[in-house]
Amino acid sequence: SIAVVGSSNIDFAARVAKLPKPGQTVPAKEYISGPGGKGCNQALAIARLGVSPVFISKIGDDALGRQLVTSLAAEGIDTSHLIIADAAQTGTALISIDEAGENMITVVGGANMTMTRGDLHEKQDYLRDCDYLLLQLECPVVAVDCAIKYAREGGAKIMLDPAPVPDHMVMRDLLALTDIVTPNSTECRAMTGIEPVDEASAKKAAKVLHDMGPKTVIIKMGRQGAYYSTPDMSGLVASFTVSAIDTVGAGDCFNAGLAVALHGGQALPDAVRFACATGALATTRNGAGDAAPTLDQVLALLEP
């Protein structure tokens, strides 16, 4: 199975002509609201690709939490692994996007930031049982670390999306326990000091990341595609040409695609291509979790 341990939010996104300055109020015609948070986005995208994930996440005992349960259940996700926080709100992201696509985001971690070792202790059987464990860093590091330990005991492959990038010491500790690390360009630069703009620079950055532990390094490079590197092989996979309207969630869909393809037995270069197709399709739709494509859509883009 594929397990995901991570954040769940309800996002509120409004398009504005110009982003507000401090103290300013700007009008918007409407907002869209839907599931977000990197963990939830990855879980939803995995489900759309036809694999039912074990999704462990923490929500509040409130209306937004119930909205999340309904949305996840509608996608066929088992919601019994969602943990209800005693005294914290469901995470939210308040997003404003201007006409140029520039955004301003306030994230309320809420219940996500209350995930404890104890919560994961209760889920240890599922973690020991999984083949792939997907993690991001929108939950407390102690919880992430604990999930990794249970999953490793069961022999799972650990796939870490280092977002948001933590401080250097925490990063080192986590990477030492990670099999597959998947930074985007910004995260890659923060972690290595190297901006991955082409294959040569991505290769240099990948070396720095390999030296911190992961055998497999995947660098997500937006419209440039993705670079993969292992001790045996490396290469740059070109992105698919699509008309991108909203790149939010592209990286999460990429990770979901990568996990589903690897779990299905695909070789790494094929899995990265599958992931690029999944990420590309996510940019053609608005929203975060709701932007994930179906398996048929990904297969159509791969083999038109």
Task: List, by residue number, the catalytic residues.
Answer: 252
What is the per-residue DSSP string for 108-123?
E-GGGGG--HHHHHTT
Asked if residue 248 belongs to a known ligand binding site, the reply is yes
Smaller CB separation from ligand ADP, 203 or 220: 220
Give the three-state DSSP class for 237.
strand
Distant-in-sequence, close-in-space partners of 234: CB < 8 Å, separation ≥ 6: 203, 206, 227, 228
- Among residue numbers 263 through 302, which ones bind ligand ADP (CB under 6 A)? 276, 279-280, 283
37: annotated binding-site residue?
A: yes
Interface stretch with ligand ADP, choices 61-69, 138-146, 148-156, 217-225 (CB under 6 A): 217-225
- Name the β-bridge partners of 104: 96
Q: Is 261 annotated as a binding residue?
A: no
Query: Under the criterion CB under 6 A, does residue 213 sit at the interface with ligand ADP?
Result: no
Shortest Cβ 228–ligand ADP spacing (Å): 10
Angle at 154 between CA 255 and CA 55, to 5 degrees: 45
Identify which of residues 127 and 256 has a Cβ nearer to ligand ADP in the complex: 256
Closer Cβ to ligand ADP, 157 or 273, answer by number? 273
Choose, by CB under 6 A, the member of 154, 213, 222, 235 that binds ligand ADP: 222
Q: How many CB atoms lie within 10 A of CB 298?
A: 27
Q: What distances in angstroms separate CA 119 from CA 35, 76, 84, 197, one per listed residue?
A: 22, 23, 10, 40
In this structure, what token pair is assigned to residue 293?
């494509």
Residues near 69 by Cβ (< 8 Å), separated by ≥ 6?
A: 59, 79, 82
Site for ligand ADP in 181-210 (CB under 6 A): 184
Q: Is 129 annotated as contributing to ligand binding?
A: no
Helices 199-210/185-192 angle, 10° precision:
50
Q: Is 215 annotated as a binding residue?
A: no
55, 150, 228, 240: which one binds ligand ADP (CB under 6 A): 240
- Tell me if 239 contacts ligand ADP by CB under 6 A: yes
Q: Which residues bind ligand ADP (CB under 6 A)?
A: 184, 220-223, 225-226, 239-240, 242, 244, 247, 250-251, 254, 276, 279-280, 283
Binding residues for substrate: 9-11, 37-41, 138, 252
